[in-house]
Amino acid sequence: MSLPIGPETTVGAMIEAYPELESVLIEMAPAFAKLRNPVVRRTVAKVATLEQAAKIGGINLQTMILRLRNVTEQGARDLPLLEPQQDVAGDDASWLTSDRVVAEIDADAMLERGVHPIGKIRQTVGALGPGEVVVLRSSFRPQPLIETLRRAGSAVHSSIQGTTHLTWFGRPAK
């Protein structure tokens, strides 16, 4: 199957077209080992683009795409230059305080139980009052979720504490 590999290609479609690329991804970033989890494979991999995956894995998007294209014998044609997105919605980071946190969710623990955390996160973020925050702890940057909730109007910030990614989702104060 010939699937062009680019920033917008979903991880799931790419691995379906080129199963050998799963091990290449895992070699590039250990965070991608989660692709072996059937829950992650059925959910996140189906919607996460390579651009999002590069952010999750903390690797350069262009380096990743070039490597994947080399393995599949695709050229480096039309590889775009991308600008990183700002994590904090707007310039106001005043909402990033621990006294505003009303819930913490451990994504890794949920995934180990075979439950994808997206439903719980959406429900918790949807129930936030003005100025309230929920923190998601994970061993990876949940880029597809970040983008989904940002588009839905949530304030979002992501940071790393040791090997743990902390992603803050907030409802702006009125």
Note the pLDDT tens digit of each residue in 93-109: 667 777 788 888 998 88
The yes-or-no verdict on residue 82 having pLDDT over 70 is no
Cα-flanking dihedrals φ and ψ of residue 134, to 5°?
-120, 140
Q: What is the rounded distance in angstroms from the CA atom of residue 5 to the CA atom of residue 20?
A: 14
pTM: 0.54
Q: What is the rounded distance in angstroms from the CA atom of residue 147 to the CA atom of residue 38?
A: 23
CATH number of 98-170: 3.40.50.150
Locate CATH 3.40.50.150 in the chain: 98-170
Strands 133-138 and 155-161: unpaired
Q: What is the rounded distance in angstroms from the CA atom of residue 44 to the CA atom of residue 116?
A: 9
Residue of 157, 138, 139 lying closest to 91 (CA atoms): 157
